[in-house]
């Protein structure tokens, strides 16, 4: 080789226990440089991590490796290889095309005049510039140590930024299940960054929900959120995710309700008022935990479960509200013979129609929860009219039509979005697209879209099932009738949506049948 490394005698460094590795890419067209570099740094360790060397012998090869491996910490980069500026082009490729601002680039050259130091550092975002002849083993050790410290701090800042971004995004709608998972994931990322750990971390919890304390075994734990090797493991039992030593540590933390430290990881019990609690696992601890770090873990363990259970309680309230809607609607329907699962079918038929029509998923879900209230006003209609098998007299029909206003008046004063939507549907679901409906003779888009959807869903389900006043129609008869009512009873666009998804709607009928009441296809 044309240039020689000069190494002073160095005392041997104390061997440390390896806990992962730092990736170092050596880029040089002379194989001797690779050999000597590996030899000089063979016993190097930083934060109990050894170096993992990767070799590239040209600028093109280095670019390929950098594009494939995003976690390289340091690049020891020669300038002159296949071309006089091959190394500089690698540096530019890393910073500008890969947009990798994290890796530390140390330029090593045997021809300093070929690439002036001041110009190179300014123009190419180089972190250090060394002549090969000045790099003793001690100086190489020093530059590696300072570069790894910089890399560690930059990655820590980036992880904290990403974690904070997840927390802020999730905080906009913290009470949705997806946002809660994102929130916990962001907090985990912040915690591992502050502790200086690897990104392998997870939070596990029992499948228990608030208000169901007796229904779950505290040892039946599932992954709620995970990072690193536990990413994409959400919902899996820990017996399928963790090995035996880790399971033992989890069991110890659960039984002791404390933080268990083992080797280079910890398992912390997260206390709970309503459930059996959760467990936090963090691996890759860089060394003994300081008092401030232990307090940080305790703070996380105390508060993350509170946030989780507040969301669980919110879901419990929402689920209770929906169940009350179903039970109230079914109680009203029980007064009408042979209606069975009508209200449940209406809910899911409305949802499918709303999605096919083009409503947002949030609106479709609101409609699904509110639609069962469409006939709640029948509670005020006498049985002899409600269940009369013959045609109603004009006087009886006038009474029957009042169920729309009765239902509206029952529901109108609620401040809950589901009940408010139910009030609109109850009042308007007998309005017709051409204006010939009741109670107000509204037409076209004067009728709320929820009521337009519920109207078609109600007619479809009623025609497909037997009632006290009619036999069930087959599917072809129902399709023909609904299409005949386009631009009369129903909005044409709604009928088109119905035609597109009729197979899905039939599946709803099969899932929630009335015994023997649905006609064959």
Q: Tell me the catalytic residues.
A: 378
Q: Which of 68, 90, 63, 94 is nearest to 79 (CA)?
A: 90
Number of neighbours of residue 471 by Cβ within 10 angstroms: 9
238 and 267 Cβ atoms separated by less than 8 Å: no
Q: Which of 347, 345, 331, 340 is nearest to 468 (CA)?
A: 340
- Can you name the residues that pair with 21 across neighbouring β-strands? 50
- Collect contacts of 122-129 with beta carbons under 8 A, ≥24 apart: 124/88, 124/91, 124/92, 124/95, 125/91, 125/95, 125/101, 126/91, 128/104
End-to-end Cα distance, the chain? 85
| Residues 6+ away with beta carbon under 8 Å from 512 | 340, 341, 344, 345, 348
- Can you name the residues that pair with 271 across neighbouring β-strands? none
**Tokens in use for 346?**
């209406």
For the four alpha carbons of 167, 173, 174 and 177, in that order, the dihedral sign comes to: negative
Q: Which of 120, 125, 121 is nearest to 99 (CA)?
A: 125
CA distance 282 to 195: 9
| Residues 6+ away with beta carbon under 8 Å from 295 | none
76 and 24 Cβ atoms separated by less than 8 Å: yes
| Residues 6+ away with beta carbon under 8 Å from 469 | 388, 389, 390, 391
| Residues 6+ away with beta carbon under 8 Å from 208 | 215, 216, 274, 275, 276
CA distance 109 to 80: 7
- Can you name the residues that pair with 237 across neighbouring β-strands? 222
Q: Which of 4, 68, 61 is nearest to 35 (CA)?
A: 4
Q: Angle at the Cα of 239 (from 235 to 240), degrees rounded to 5?
A: 65
């Amino acid at each position: 080789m044309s240039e020689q490394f000069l190494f002073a005698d160095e005392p041997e460094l104390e061997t440390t226990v390896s806990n992962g590795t730092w990736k170092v890419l050596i880029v040089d067209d002379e194989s001797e440089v690779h050999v000597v570099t590996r030899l000089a740094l063979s016993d190097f360790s930083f934060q109990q991590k050894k170096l993992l060397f990767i070799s590239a012998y040209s600028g093109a090869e280095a670019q390929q490796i950098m594009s494939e491996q995003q976690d390289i910490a340091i690049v020891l980069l020669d300038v002159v290889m296949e071309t006089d500026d091959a190394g500089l082009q690698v540096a530019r490729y890393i910073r500008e095309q890969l947009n990798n601002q994290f890796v530390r680039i140390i330029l090593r050259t045997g021809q300093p005049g070929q690439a002036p130091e001041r110009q190179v550092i300014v123009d190419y975002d180089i972190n250090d510039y060394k002549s090969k002849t000045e790099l003793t083993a001690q100086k190489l050790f020093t530059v590696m140590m300072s570069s790894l410290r910089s890399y560690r701090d930059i990655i820590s800042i980036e992880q904290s930024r990403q974690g904070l971004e997840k927390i802020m995004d999730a905080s906009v709608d913290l009470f949705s299940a997806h946002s809660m998972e994102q929130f916990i994931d962001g907090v985990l990322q912040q915690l591992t960054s502050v502790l200086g750990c690897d990104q392998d971390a997870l939070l596990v919890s029992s499948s228990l929900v608030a208000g169901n304390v007796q229904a779950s075994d505290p040892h039946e734990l599932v992954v709620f959120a995970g990072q690193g090797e536990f990413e994409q493991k959400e919902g899996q039992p820990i017996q399928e995710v963790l090995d035996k030593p880790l399971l033992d540590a989890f069991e110890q933390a659960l039984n002791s309700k404390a933080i268990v430290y083992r080797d280079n990881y910890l398992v912390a019990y997260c206390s709970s008022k309503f459930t059996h609690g959760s467990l936090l696992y963090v691996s890759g601890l860089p060394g003994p935990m300081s008092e401030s770090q232990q307090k940080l873990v305790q703070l996380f363990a105390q508060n993350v479960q509170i946030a989780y259970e507040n969301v669980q309680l919110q879901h419990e309230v929402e689920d209770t509200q929906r169940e009350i809607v179903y039970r109230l609607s079914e109680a009203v329907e029980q007064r009408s013979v042979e209606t069975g699962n009508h209200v449940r079918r209406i809910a899911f038929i409305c949802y499918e129609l709303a999605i096919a029509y083009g409503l947002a998923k949030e609106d479709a879900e609101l409609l699904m929860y509110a639609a069962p209230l469409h006939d709640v006003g029948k509670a005020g209609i006498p049985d002899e009219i409600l269940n009369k098998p013959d045609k109603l007299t004009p006087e009886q029909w006038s009474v029957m039509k009042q169920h729309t206003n009765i239902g509206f008046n029952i529901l109108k004063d609620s401040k809950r979005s589901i009940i408010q939507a139910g009030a609109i549907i109850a009042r308007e679901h007998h309005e017709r697209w051409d204006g010939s409906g009741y109670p107000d003779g509204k037409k076209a888009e004067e009728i709320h879209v929820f009521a337009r959807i519920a109207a078609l869903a109600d007619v479809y389900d009623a025609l497909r099932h037997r009632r006290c006043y009619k036999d069930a129609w087959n599917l072809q008869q129902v399709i023909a009738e609904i299409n005949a009512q386009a631009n009369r009873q129903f909005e044409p666009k709604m009928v088109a949506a119905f035609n597109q998804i009729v197979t899905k709607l039939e599946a709803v009928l099969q899932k929630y049948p009335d015994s023997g009441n649905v006609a064959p296809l």
